[in-house]
Amino acid sequence: MTNHTVNSSSKPIVIYGIGKTANILAHYLLSSGLRVSAFTIEGEFCTESHFKEKPVVNFNDLANLYPPDEFDVMIAIGYQDMNQQRERIFNECKAKGYYLAPYIHPSVTYFSEEQVSEGTIILDHVTIQPAASIGKNTYVWSNSVIAHGSQVMDNCWVAAGSIIAGDAVIGNNTFLGVNSTIGHNTHLGKHTFVGANTLVAKNTADNTAIISAEGEKLRLNSIQFIKFSKL
Protein backbone atom coordinates (compact mmCIF):
# COMPACT_ATOMS: atom_id res chain seq x y z
CA MET A 1 0.00 0.00 0.00
CA THR A 2 1.36 3.42 -0.96
CA ASN A 3 0.75 6.58 1.02
CA HIS A 4 2.85 9.53 -0.19
CA THR A 5 2.77 12.41 -2.66
CA VAL A 6 3.19 11.51 -6.32
CA ASN A 7 4.63 13.94 -8.82
CA SER A 8 6.45 11.65 -11.20
CA SER A 9 8.80 14.40 -12.32
CA SER A 10 11.20 16.46 -10.24
CA LYS A 11 10.52 19.48 -12.47
CA PRO A 12 8.76 22.58 -11.16
CA ILE A 13 5.10 22.99 -12.14
CA VAL A 14 3.19 25.51 -14.23
CA ILE A 15 -0.54 25.42 -13.48
CA TYR A 16 -3.00 26.04 -16.32
CA GLY A 17 -5.83 28.16 -14.91
CA ILE A 18 -6.30 31.16 -12.61
CA GLY A 19 -9.74 30.41 -11.17
CA LYS A 20 -11.09 28.55 -8.14
CA THR A 21 -9.74 25.16 -9.19
CA ALA A 22 -6.27 26.62 -9.75
CA ASN A 23 -6.37 28.30 -6.35
CA ILE A 24 -7.32 25.03 -4.64
CA LEU A 25 -4.76 22.93 -6.51
CA ALA A 26 -1.98 25.42 -5.77
CA HIS A 27 -2.76 25.19 -2.04
CA TYR A 28 -2.47 21.39 -2.18
CA LEU A 29 0.77 21.44 -4.19
CA LEU A 30 2.48 24.01 -2.02
CA SER A 31 1.41 22.27 1.20
CA SER A 32 2.88 19.05 -0.21
CA GLY A 33 6.23 20.74 -0.82
CA LEU A 34 5.99 20.90 -4.61
CA ARG A 35 7.28 23.84 -6.62
CA VAL A 36 4.79 26.03 -8.48
CA SER A 37 6.66 28.44 -10.76
CA ALA A 38 3.87 30.15 -12.70
CA PHE A 39 0.30 30.05 -13.96
CA THR A 40 -0.83 30.15 -17.56
CA ILE A 41 -4.09 30.84 -19.35
CA GLU A 42 -5.20 31.57 -22.90
CA GLY A 43 -4.80 35.14 -24.08
CA GLU A 44 -8.42 36.30 -23.84
CA PHE A 45 -8.48 35.29 -20.17
CA CYS A 46 -4.97 36.51 -19.34
CA THR A 47 -6.08 39.66 -17.53
CA GLU A 48 -3.81 39.41 -14.49
CA SER A 49 -0.02 39.63 -14.34
CA HIS A 50 0.20 37.57 -11.13
CA PHE A 51 -1.87 34.95 -9.31
CA LYS A 52 -1.00 33.78 -5.81
CA GLU A 53 2.18 35.86 -6.11
CA LYS A 54 3.35 33.89 -9.18
CA PRO A 55 3.59 35.15 -12.78
CA VAL A 56 0.64 34.60 -15.11
CA VAL A 57 1.70 34.08 -18.74
CA ASN A 58 -0.17 33.77 -22.00
CA PHE A 59 -0.54 30.11 -22.96
CA ASN A 60 0.69 30.94 -26.47
CA ASP A 61 4.00 32.09 -24.98
CA LEU A 62 4.35 29.28 -22.44
CA ALA A 63 6.86 27.11 -24.30
CA ASN A 64 9.23 30.06 -24.77
CA LEU A 65 9.05 31.28 -21.18
CA TYR A 66 8.78 27.90 -19.41
CA PRO A 67 10.12 25.28 -21.84
CA PRO A 68 8.83 21.70 -21.59
CA ASP A 69 12.27 20.24 -20.97
CA GLU A 70 12.45 22.27 -17.73
CA PHE A 71 8.82 22.42 -16.52
CA ASP A 72 5.76 20.21 -16.27
CA VAL A 73 2.13 21.35 -16.44
CA MET A 74 -0.91 20.60 -14.29
CA ILE A 75 -4.35 21.61 -15.57
CA ALA A 76 -6.66 23.27 -13.05
CA ILE A 77 -9.93 24.17 -14.73
CA GLY A 78 -13.41 22.74 -14.17
CA TYR A 79 -15.73 20.39 -16.02
CA GLN A 80 -17.05 22.87 -18.59
CA ASP A 81 -18.65 21.28 -21.66
CA MET A 82 -18.51 17.85 -20.04
CA ASN A 83 -14.76 18.16 -19.46
CA GLN A 84 -14.07 18.85 -23.14
CA GLN A 85 -12.28 22.14 -22.43
CA ARG A 86 -9.88 20.37 -20.09
CA GLU A 87 -9.40 17.63 -22.68
CA ARG A 88 -8.56 20.22 -25.34
CA ILE A 89 -5.99 21.93 -23.11
CA PHE A 90 -4.44 18.56 -22.25
CA ASN A 91 -3.99 17.78 -25.94
CA GLU A 92 -2.57 21.23 -26.68
CA CYS A 93 -0.06 20.88 -23.83
CA LYS A 94 1.02 17.52 -25.24
CA ALA A 95 1.41 19.11 -28.67
CA LYS A 96 3.74 21.71 -27.12
CA GLY A 97 5.84 18.86 -25.69
CA TYR A 98 4.80 19.02 -22.03
CA TYR A 99 4.42 16.18 -19.59
CA LEU A 100 1.19 16.57 -17.61
CA ALA A 101 2.29 15.66 -14.11
CA PRO A 102 -0.13 13.67 -11.92
CA TYR A 103 -0.67 14.53 -8.28
CA ILE A 104 -1.76 12.26 -5.43
CA HIS A 105 -2.25 13.86 -2.02
CA PRO A 106 -0.25 12.25 0.80
CA SER A 107 -3.44 11.13 2.59
CA VAL A 108 -4.64 9.01 -0.37
CA THR A 109 -4.64 5.23 0.05
CA TYR A 110 -3.61 3.35 -3.10
CA PHE A 111 -1.44 0.41 -4.04
CA SER A 112 0.54 1.35 -7.15
CA GLU A 113 1.46 4.55 -8.95
CA GLU A 114 0.39 2.77 -12.13
CA GLN A 115 -3.22 3.10 -10.94
CA VAL A 116 -3.10 6.82 -11.80
CA SER A 117 -2.40 8.15 -15.30
CA GLU A 118 -0.78 11.28 -16.71
CA GLY A 119 -2.36 14.57 -15.71
CA THR A 120 -4.74 13.11 -13.13
CA ILE A 121 -5.28 14.92 -9.82
CA ILE A 122 -6.28 12.98 -6.68
CA LEU A 123 -7.11 15.13 -3.65
CA ASP A 124 -7.16 14.26 0.03
CA HIS A 125 -8.52 11.12 1.70
CA VAL A 126 -9.42 9.25 -1.47
CA THR A 127 -9.24 5.45 -1.45
CA ILE A 128 -8.19 3.62 -4.63
CA GLN A 129 -8.59 -0.10 -4.01
CA PRO A 130 -6.55 -2.91 -5.62
CA ALA A 131 -6.99 -3.43 -9.38
CA ALA A 132 -8.80 -0.11 -9.77
CA SER A 133 -7.47 2.38 -12.32
CA ILE A 134 -7.96 6.04 -13.22
CA GLY A 135 -7.35 7.37 -16.71
CA LYS A 136 -5.53 10.51 -17.77
CA ASN A 137 -6.58 14.10 -17.09
CA THR A 138 -9.17 13.17 -14.45
CA TYR A 139 -10.00 14.92 -11.18
CA VAL A 140 -10.98 12.91 -8.09
CA TRP A 141 -12.03 15.13 -5.21
CA SER A 142 -11.80 14.55 -1.48
CA ASN A 143 -13.20 11.51 0.37
CA SER A 144 -14.14 9.53 -2.74
CA VAL A 145 -13.79 5.74 -3.08
CA ILE A 146 -12.69 3.98 -6.27
CA ALA A 147 -13.43 0.35 -5.41
CA HIS A 148 -11.68 -2.85 -6.48
CA GLY A 149 -11.49 -3.50 -10.19
CA SER A 150 -13.30 -0.32 -11.21
CA GLN A 151 -12.12 1.85 -14.09
CA VAL A 152 -12.46 5.61 -14.34
CA MET A 153 -11.58 6.54 -17.90
CA ASP A 154 -10.03 9.75 -19.31
CA ASN A 155 -11.08 13.37 -18.72
CA CYS A 156 -13.56 12.63 -15.92
CA TRP A 157 -14.61 14.71 -12.91
CA VAL A 158 -15.39 12.81 -9.71
CA ALA A 159 -16.76 15.23 -7.11
CA ALA A 160 -16.21 14.91 -3.37
CA GLY A 161 -17.68 11.94 -1.55
CA SER A 162 -18.42 9.90 -4.66
CA ILE A 163 -18.50 6.11 -4.33
CA ILE A 164 -17.66 3.94 -7.34
CA ALA A 165 -18.37 0.32 -6.45
CA GLY A 166 -16.37 -2.69 -7.58
CA ASP A 167 -15.86 -3.46 -11.27
CA ALA A 168 -17.76 -0.36 -12.41
CA VAL A 169 -16.63 1.46 -15.55
CA ILE A 170 -16.91 5.25 -15.82
CA GLY A 171 -16.75 6.36 -19.46
CA ASN A 172 -14.64 9.19 -20.84
CA ASN A 173 -15.60 12.77 -19.95
CA THR A 174 -18.14 11.76 -17.32
CA PHE A 175 -19.18 14.00 -14.42
CA LEU A 176 -20.08 12.49 -11.04
CA GLY A 177 -21.69 14.94 -8.62
CA VAL A 178 -21.08 15.26 -4.89
CA ASN A 179 -21.96 12.09 -2.96
CA SER A 180 -23.01 10.21 -6.09
CA THR A 181 -22.92 6.41 -6.00
CA ILE A 182 -22.21 4.07 -8.91
CA GLY A 183 -23.30 0.48 -8.28
CA HIS A 184 -21.26 -2.68 -8.61
CA ASN A 185 -20.44 -3.68 -12.20
CA THR A 186 -22.32 -0.68 -13.62
CA HIS A 187 -20.99 0.78 -16.87
CA LEU A 188 -21.52 4.47 -17.62
CA GLY A 189 -21.25 5.61 -21.23
CA LYS A 190 -19.01 8.52 -22.12
CA HIS A 191 -20.23 12.05 -21.37
CA THR A 192 -22.61 10.79 -18.64
CA PHE A 193 -23.77 13.43 -16.15
CA VAL A 194 -24.67 12.16 -12.66
CA GLY A 195 -26.13 14.73 -10.28
CA ALA A 196 -25.32 15.15 -6.61
CA ASN A 197 -26.51 12.44 -4.21
CA THR A 198 -27.65 10.23 -7.11
CA LEU A 199 -27.48 6.43 -7.22
CA VAL A 200 -26.87 4.80 -10.60
CA ALA A 201 -27.26 1.02 -10.58
CA LYS A 202 -27.94 0.37 -14.28
CA ASN A 203 -25.74 0.86 -17.33
CA THR A 204 -26.10 4.15 -19.20
CA ALA A 205 -25.74 5.06 -22.86
CA ASP A 206 -23.43 7.86 -24.00
CA ASN A 207 -24.58 11.41 -23.19
CA THR A 208 -27.04 10.34 -20.46
CA ALA A 209 -27.99 12.74 -17.63
CA ILE A 210 -29.31 11.35 -14.32
CA ILE A 211 -30.38 13.63 -11.46
CA SER A 212 -32.10 12.71 -8.19
CA ALA A 213 -34.99 14.76 -6.83
CA GLU A 214 -34.06 17.56 -4.46
CA GLY A 215 -34.93 17.16 -0.78
CA GLU A 216 -38.47 18.24 0.10
CA LYS A 217 -38.99 21.43 2.11
CA LEU A 218 -41.38 20.76 5.00
CA ARG A 219 -44.24 23.05 6.02
CA LEU A 220 -42.91 23.03 9.58
CA ASN A 221 -39.91 25.16 10.45
CA SER A 222 -36.92 23.48 12.09
CA ILE A 223 -38.00 24.18 15.69
CA GLN A 224 -41.52 22.88 15.04
CA PHE A 225 -40.16 19.80 13.30
CA ILE A 226 -37.93 18.88 16.25
CA LYS A 227 -40.80 19.43 18.69
CA PHE A 228 -43.40 17.37 16.84
CA SER A 229 -41.06 14.60 15.68
CA LYS A 230 -39.79 14.16 19.27
CA LEU A 231 -36.20 13.81 18.07
Candidates 207, 177, 165; CA nearest to 189 is: 207
- Give the Cβ contact number of residue 36 at 10 Å: 20
- In the chain, the amino acid numbered 179 is N
Query: What local confidence, expressed as pLDDT, does residue 216 receive?
Result: 87
**CATH code (residue 49):** 3.40.50.20
Q: Is residue 216 part of a domain?
A: no
Query: What proportions of the chain, in percent to the nearest 5, are helix, strand and coil?
Result: 20, 25, 55
Question: For the chain, what is the domain count?
Answer: 1
Query: What local confidence, expressed as pLDDT, does residue 45 receive?
Result: 82
Q: Is residue 42 part of a domain?
A: yes
Write the CB contacts of 21 (distance below 8 Å, at least 6 apart in sequence).
76, 77, 78
Q: Is residue 93 part of a domain?
A: yes
- Could you tell me if 195 and 159 are in contact, meaning their C-beta atoms sit under 8 angstroms apart? no
Q: Is residue 85 part of a domain?
A: yes
The three-class DSSP label of residue 83 is: helix
Tens of pLDDT, residues 20-76: 999 999 999 998 889 999 999 998 888 888 999 999 999 999 999 999 999 999 999
Write out the residue range of the structural domain in which residue 95 sits.
Answer: 13-103
Q: How far is it, in rounded angstroms, from Cα 16 to Cα 30? A: 15
Q: Is residue 128 part of a domain?
A: no
Tens of pLDDT, residues 173-225: 999 999 999 999 999 999 999 999 999 999 999 999 999 988 888 888 888 88
Query: What local confidence, expressed as pLDDT, does residue 112 receive?
Result: 84
Query: What local confidence, expressed as pLDDT, does residue 6 receive?
Result: 57
Q: Is residue 48 part of a domain?
A: yes
Q: Is residue 205 part of a domain?
A: no
Q: Is residue 41 part of a domain?
A: yes
Residue 230 has pLDDT above 80, yes or no: no
